[in-house]
Chains A and B, each alone.
Chain A
Amino acid sequence: MDGRMKEALRYLGYGRHAVDERTMGLIEDSFAELEEVADRKFVYRIFELIRDGEADIRIGRMQIHSASLGRNMKGCTHAALIGATLGIGVDMRMKRHSLNDMARVVVLQACASVMLEEYLDECQAGLEKELEAQGRFLRPRFSPGYGDFLICHQSEILRMLDAPKKIGLTMTDGYMLTPVKSVTAAAGISTTKEPCHIRGCESCGKRDCSYRRN
């Protein structure tokens, strides 16, 4: 079983349970379908980071009050804002299958999440490489709407990234990203290298890290 499949099963809640063949088949089909309809796009931009207090930072002209972000970005001089999407085709496919195949929708949705994470990791790795050449290092990425990093920053992030125009990433009045399978995030940049886990502090083994966000 490959990593993707395992991840998809995790999203579907299988945990360690044995999985039936039909679900496995559905997962394989779904990944294949996504390869066909997903139109992956990524945009990032680096901004200066200014610290106004323990829990108050400014990324470019965006003011954020967040204790966990404040801690996580301690010692950072800059921050990268990131936006990524699998495109509107995925949303449409899900809508279409929801007419007569909800099992497929549920699996497709899990697979799309896996694909989006994978894609973000890939993009982030590229960015990391670029930064490392300049002696700078990336902390884990952080999405608005998680912890005390408020979702209301969504609109500003999209604007600072010019995301609607660059990658077709927009949001609803209720701060939901459209296309649905999309992510925005912020990640600190510092001149010291931490042993960061690509999936963030939650997955990271360094329990005593002073930048830990959770």
Chain B
Amino acid sequence: MLLDRLGKELLFLDGGMGTLLQEKGLQPGELPEIWNLEHADEITDIHRRYVEAGSDMVLTNTFGANALKFHSGKYRLEDIVKAGVACARKGAELAADGREVYVGLDIGPTGKLLKPMGDLAFEEAYLAFRETVRYGVQAGVDFIHIETMSDTYEVKAAVLAAKENSDLPVCVTMIFDERGKLLTGGDVPSAVALLEGLRADALGVNCGLGPRQIFPVVEEIRRYASIPLIVKPNAGLPKQKDGAVFYDIDPEQFAGDMRRIVEMGACVVGGCCGTTPEHIRKMAESCACLPVLCAEAKEDTIVSSYGKAVTLGDCPIIIGERINPTGKKKFRQALKDHDIDYILKEAVAQQDSGAHILDVNVGLPDIDEKKMMCEAVEQLQSVTSLPLQIDTSDPETMEAAMRIYNGKPMVNSVNGKQESMDQVFPLVQKYGGVVVGLTIDEDGIPPTAEGRARIAQKIIREAAKYGIARKDIVIDVLAMTVSSEPEGAKTTLEALRLVRRRYGVRTVLGVSNISFGLPGRPLINSNFYTMAMLNGLSAGIINPLSADMMGSYHAYRALMNYDENCREYISRYGKEQQKDQGAVTAAPAQITLKTAIEKGLKEEAALAAKALLAAEEPLDIINSQMIPALDEVGKGFEKGSIFLPQLLMSADAARSGFGVLNEAMAAVGGSDEKKDKIILATVRGDIHDIGKNIVKVLLENYGFDVIDLGKDVAPDVIVRETLKRNVRLVGLSALMTTTVASMEQTIRLLRQRAPQCRVMVGGAVLNREYADMIGADFYGKDAMQSVYYAKELFGRGIDKQ
């Protein structure tokens, strides 16, 4: 059994396949997997040569064999995969000579970028991999080898496909550059955290680099990984001569370098591009007698996103609490309106304020939590690289979010109730994650620190049954409101110390609960926060936009020598001091709201709006200052004296002015006027959304309620939303000729199902005639045109010259 040998003895993989096939006549761009059927003997022979050279594990010629590449062609994917396995098996049998040789189903990337930045949905990628896995399993492979992956998201889809559709060992290698980065920006610790969370059986690096360049990457993986390490470099860096690509490290040198790599701790070694049976033979000879270094278990508590890993260590970190509707009217409304941007803005604001992890809770009685959570998680990952904490009490939502999350998430939460542990631990076992354990059980929250510690222990023990290590549990000893629970704060602090000391686990705490019902809450919160950190809090769940809390945090770090030379502290608070002093001498020059908007000055616009509110009604301010300013700028843009960036700066300034006025209106309960609704979307197949976003900003400034359906939106979704929300105007954008067809299709469907609705279109490839041809009502040659059209349509008159 391979699993019994992995990590305990040195195993040799095979070498390059592509290079050898090219020697035999494979053309660049030709699909090599077809050779499994057309030239099966050649493929078998290559496998045979590798086994003869000493490979214990050979990989099938199925690197690109997935449902996305092989569904329309002459050959069936099933035949290609099964033939590939047969070739490898036969090659192995021919040369094994009594040795045990394992055949691995080779799985490479799809060659597509996943959503939200690309157009391949995570589940589609999963299904594509699943098909290959199933054929491989049917054909009787011994293990699954996922390699050359440069995207953590895609690799997650592949590992899940392998794990859910087989019981075989799963080996995974990714492609790092010299800086130890993936092409999609991830680093070594984040990749390791993800793969170990998904329970890969061995992990490592292949391709991209030659053996020497790969040394530092190998070292870094060793530092983080607790499972067996695979290394499969190229025979040097690629060079070109006369149009042919070649690699120039010869077998001797390769063998010497691979020896170093084994000494560094690799226990499965082979070669990638440019390596030949000779490379493998020399490597096997030179490494044969080397001892294997077992990977030791690492104890760091790490969560990750696609781009980075965050360690919960001695120096406390911040979990941003703001993506949570509890007690927030606006947030609740945003959820009801399906306003994802609202959530994304909260995320960006928290990141900019210094959060390290973002809690995501979108639970609300009357919305589909699972759907909303998945959408939020997916979209958040396109604007922030911070790891997320999936916060829900619904196990189904939890599983769905953990599945589509691109990384090793933090999971909030499990508690000491058996039912909760039975539900949550299997998910953590399967998808990986660091789970928050609340010290509450069937009997409630124990009043004593000792009682809470006992629940912590119960959680840790139960988790161990699932193979969940202690490092992947953080304990929340819960903070009780001090106004009703006089000893509450003291108990919490004591419990923090206790679980830290007794079980060595990291801790987390929602801090702001403590001050509930008291005046001056920030004062209590920030002081309690400091005390909690001093007593062993690893991660406070706080509001990073609160100056008091951040003050406590940075002061604590400076005082406890976590902030080297107080650098961070000085960079944050040094400036403030200067600002204070500066304010005394130079009073800000007064400018009118109109000027601020025309000049595109955001802060000034807000200030001016605030000043005007002292004497005027919000609506009057809008009509007398804001609308004229916007019109002025719009006209300038039409005439060509003002350009797009300025138009948008003005729009932003106006938006900040509106923000102030809207708040004032909301305060007196008068802002609920019915706004005209407009749907905007970039059509299916089109992922460029700048044009659409520009139109959105402008329309919003003119008081329209813009429902932004995003990019790459299917016709039926647009129609459905149009009908559901009773919308009279839909704006569609398409940037390329290839996607105008789907614009036309959308219009046709709208005509059939929502004949009362008008359609305006825009985008680089369109013009008046083209727009007429596909049946649009209006073609907006620039963003302002769309505004004028909307105003006209909704009977607001046109004040354009």
Contact = CB atoms under 8 A, between A and B. Distances in A.
Interface of A: 12-14, 17, 19-20, 22-23, 26, 39, 41, 45-48, 60-62, 78, 87-89, 91-92, 94-96, 98-103, 105-107, 109, 145, 151, 156, 158-160, 162, 164-165, 167-168, 170-176, 178-180
Given A45-B245, A99-B344, A103-B600, A88 B184 contact: yes
A125 B652 CA distance: 41
A109 B690 contact: yes
A104 B735 CA distance: 20
A83 to B, nearest CB: 13
Contacts of A26: 645, 649
B651 A96 contact: no
Contact of A98 (B384, B645, B689): B689
Contact of B113 (A46, A62, A170): A170
A39 B165 CA distance: 36
Contacts of A61: 27-30
A114 B727 CA distance: 39
Contacts of B712: 172
Nearest to B737: A151
Interface of A is mostly: mixed
26 contacts: A17-B641, A19-B643, A22-B599, A22-B600, A23-B649, A61-B30, A78-B243, A87-B183, A88-B117, A89-B185, A95-B116, A95-B382, A95-B383, A100-B345, A103-B600, A105-B693, A160-B28, A164-B112, A172-B112, A172-B712, A174-B686, A175-B736, A175-B738, A176-B688, A178-B117, A179-B113
Contact of B649 (A14, A96, A103): A103
Contacts of A92: 117, 382-383, 385
Contacts of A171: 112
A19 B641 CA distance: 10
B118 interface: yes
B28 A45 contact: yes
Given A13-B643, A88-B185, 5 more contacts: A13-B644, A92-B383, A106-B648, A162-B28, A168-B150
Given A22-B600, A61-B30, A96-B348, A106 B644 contact: yes
A145 B764 CA distance: 13
Contacts of A20: 646
A105 B690 contact: yes
Contacts of A107: 645
Contacts of A47: 28, 243
A19 B27 CA distance: 52
B687 interface: yes
Contact of A102 (B184, B648, B687): B648
Given A99-B344, A102-B651, A103-B600, A172 B29 contact: no
Contacts of B694: 102, 106
A45 B385 CA distance: 34
A54 B290 CA distance: 62
Contacts of B344: 99
Contacts of B109: 164-165
A88 B112 CA distance: 13
A105 B348 CA distance: 15
Interface residues of B, number: 61
A7 to B, nearest CB: 15
Contact of A94 (B108, B118, B599, B690): B690
B29 A62 contact: yes
A168 B184 contact: yes
A94 B711 CA distance: 14
Given A17-B643, A94-B690, A178-B119, A173 B697 contact: no
B148 interface: yes
B63 to A, nearest CB: 10
Contacts, number: 164
Contacts of A46: 240, 242-243
Contacts of A162: 28
Contacts of A173: 119, 685
A105 B739 CA distance: 22
A139 B112 CA distance: 30
A36 B739 CA distance: 32
Given A26-B645, A92-B382, A92-B383, A98 B184 contact: no
B652 A102 contact: yes
A167 B240 CA distance: 16
A89 B382 CA distance: 10
Contact of A179 (B117, B348, B689, B738): B117
Given A13-B643, A102-B697, A176 B686 contact: yes
B383 A174 contact: no
Given A48-B243, A95-B383, A98-B693, A60 B29 contact: yes
A176 to B, nearest CB: 6
Contacts of B113: 88, 170, 172, 178-179
Interface in B601-631: none
A61 B243 CA distance: 13
Contacts of B686: 174, 176
Interface in B689-725: 689-690, 693-694, 697, 712
B688 A180 contact: yes
B648 A172 contact: no
A176 B687 contact: yes
B111 interface: yes
A151 B735 CA distance: 13
Contact of A170 (B111, B185, B341, B384): B111
A103 B184 CA distance: 26
A23 B185 CA distance: 30
Contact of B27 (A39, A60, A167, A174): A60
B330 to A, nearest CB: 16
Interface in B99-142: 108-109, 111-113, 116-119
Contact of B240 (A45, A103, A178): A45
A54 to B, nearest CB: 24
List 3 tightest A-B contacts by C-beta distance, closest first. Answer: A168-B183, A103-B648, A174-B685
A91 to B, nearest CB: 5
Nearest to A175: B738
B729 interface: no
A165 B640 CA distance: 44
